[in-house]
Amino acid sequence: MKPLLIVLCIQALSVCAPPAALAQAAAAAVRIQDTALGDWSMQVVSDDLDYPWDIARADNRFLLTEKAGNIVVIESSRQRRYALQTSAPIVDENGAGLLGMALSPDFTQSGVAYFYHSYRSDAGLTNKVIEARFDGNAWRETRVLLAGIPGHRLYNGGAIAIGPDGHLYVTTGWTANHERPQDRSNLAGKVLRMTLDGRAPHDNPFPSSLIYSYGHRNPQGMAWNPAGELFVVEHGESGHDEINRIRPGVNYGWPLAQGAERRNGMEPAWIESGRSTWAPAGAAFAGNELLVAALGSRELLVVDEGAKTLKRVFSSGDRIRDVLPVGRDLYVITTNRSPRGEGPSKDRLLRLSPGR
């Protein structure tokens, strides 16, 4: 999910450097894989969050979406909460609500960002992609890029990011419908790719279609490595969570195949959890290392690409929703209430620093 990709032990880079999702490659003095749990100190930046879903950074400001429809802006020790004003009311229901966010490359000047949110249509619970602008006092929708994405109380996907090519990438959930992920005329269970005004790029794999890949279950995190390769993390069913290396036009199998299962014409998972579960949510690259935020196993993980395994970097007992590398530090947000639960989530923004 995260567009800013920064290595350990280098100077912090701006999240708004164009393109926002371009991996910044550099040689890290210390690999995250080589650290131990005790090597990281934790600082609570905010303990006043309620079901945050996505995090980004612009200059010295952190911006977070909250599922209920708010955007939280944190700068220094100050925190402000703004309601996102939309043409269709945001529906906050279980796993539906205000989900992913992507800042425009010129956000610091323009205040423009892109959001994925749930709303109610004649078809029931539905999702859309919008553009909005922050003028320093309020966040207001400025246009709808895509409406009518099938929704569900649990399976909505929801990640959104600007890729190295300057296009907008969006993940959608399967909505518990066994036909939709394999149906290229339907937007559910897909990775979508569009221009910043919502059109299908001419080089998309299927002519005049926004679909970039299909056969996905509930993908909630996206990240690009320094070579520009896209990786998506997604929730499996009763285990078999997946990390997929995305190639245009490829079928990733769901619901006909899951995890490492092989089936003709379908791509098996690059890495999967087997019978256990991570419930992966956010993802980000720190240099060449892929970080995965895990809700179910309540930890921050790093991928050992050679061994195709994941190693625990940090655990506080919180459900980790997303991760953002900034310089030598890692910022994580928590979502401590399950989407099946009720009431406040009581969440935090944490800063993890190497060394004590």
Q: Which of 264, 209, 221, 278 is nearest to 246 (CA)?
A: 221
Pairing of strands 309-314, 299-304: antiparallel
pLDDT at position 25, please? 37
Show the beta-strand stretches assigned E in 104-247: 112-121, 124-134, 139-150, 160-162, 168-171, 190-194, 211-214, 218-224, 230-235, 242-246
Q: Is-contact 233 220, C-beta < 8 A?
A: yes
Please state the pTM of the whole predicted model.
Answer: 0.92
pLDDT, position 298: 97
Q: How far apart are CA 193 and CA 129, in angstroms?
A: 12
Q: Give the SS3 label for residue 32.
A: helix
Is-contact 223 208, C-beta < 8 A? no
Tens of pLDDT, residue by residue, the chain (356 residues): 454 333 333 333 333 433 334 333 333 457 999 999 999 999 999 999 999 999 999 999 999 999 999 999 999 889 999 999 999 999 999 999 999 999 999 999 999 999 999 999 999 999 999 999 999 999 999 999 999 999 999 999 999 999 999 999 999 999 999 999 999 999 999 999 999 999 999 999 999 999 999 999 999 999 999 999 999 999 999 999 999 999 999 999 999 999 999 999 999 999 999 999 999 999 999 999 999 999 999 999 999 998 999 999 999 999 999 999 999 999 999 999 999 988 889 999 999 999 85
Element (H, E) at 66: strand 61-66
Which amino acid type is present at position 247? R
- Please say whether the beta carbons of 244 and 269 come within 8 A: yes
pLDDT number for residue 343: 85
**Domains contained in the chain, CATH given:** 32-354 (2.120.10.30)
Instruction: Report the pLDDT value the prediction gives residue 355, as an integer from 0 to 100.
Output: 81
**Cα 40 → chain centroid:** 23
CA 114 to chain centre: 13
Between the CA of residue 238 and those of 169, 170, 277, 279, what are the distances in Å? 27, 24, 7, 10
**pLDDT in the model for residue 29:** 58
